[in-house]
Amino acid sequence: MTTILLFIGTQIFLAALGSAQTASLPEPPQVQAKNHVVSLTLHAVNENGRDAFAFNGDTVAPVIRASPGDVLSITYVNDLPAKSPETCAVTPCMDMTNLHFHGLTVSPNAPQDDVLGMLAMPGQVLHYSVEIPRDHLPGCFGITLIPMARVTGRH
């Protein structure tokens, strides 16, 4: 069976070659389909001044294992603070966010990869139901947290 891996990412920092330090990384949790449905809940949180995903109470994002024909059923909770701790280029600074599915050939319409219409303000919840086509090519794809209505130079 062909497997599609989805990596949920925020930002990964690598040490410079000259001053690289050894650090162990936590093993990410794994989520996989049951009866062709991958179900999970992701939270957008602010940890130490940085936006991140939280899954099962930890900010180590899961690896999602899915196959062509599976459905990603994701409940997304925006737990970011109502007032951003960051300085934003555009005011008022809002933590309105959504998810984006990088590389997956899926519908741009709600409740799938609708980055313009599906928006969650702090405290709001979005429900994604992303149908992976049966003829989708295997590979590694990403899901990212997209901040909207603010310009900070990151996403």
* Residue spans per domain, the chain: 4-9+27-148
Whether the pLDDT of residue 18 is over 70: the answer is no
Give residue 4's pLDDT band: very low, low, confident or very high (50, 70, 90): low
Whether the pLDDT of residue 16 is over 50: the answer is no
**Residues 61-88: tens digit of each pLDDT:** 899 999 999 999 999 999 998 877 666 6
Whether the pLDDT of residue 19 is over 80: the answer is no
pLDDT at 145: 81
| pLDDT, average across residues 50-67 | 90
Quickly tell me which residue has 């990212």 as its tokens.
144
Whether the pLDDT of residue 154 is over 70: the answer is no
Q: Strand 50-54 and strand 37-47: pairing?
A: antiparallel
Q: Which amino acid is at 120?
A: A
Residue 58 DSSP one-character state: B
pLDDT at 144: 86
Kindly report the CATH number that applies to the domain delimited by 4-9+27-148.
2.60.40.420
Asked if residue 111 has a cis previous peptide bond (ω within 30° of 0), the answer is yes
Q: Give the total residue count for the chain.
A: 155
**Residues 96-151: tens digit of each pLDDT:** 889 999 999 999 999 999 988 899 999 999 999 999 999 999 999 988 888 775 44
Beta strand segments in the chain, E: 4-9, 30-32, 37-47, 50-54, 63-66, 71-78, 96-102, 125-131, 139-148
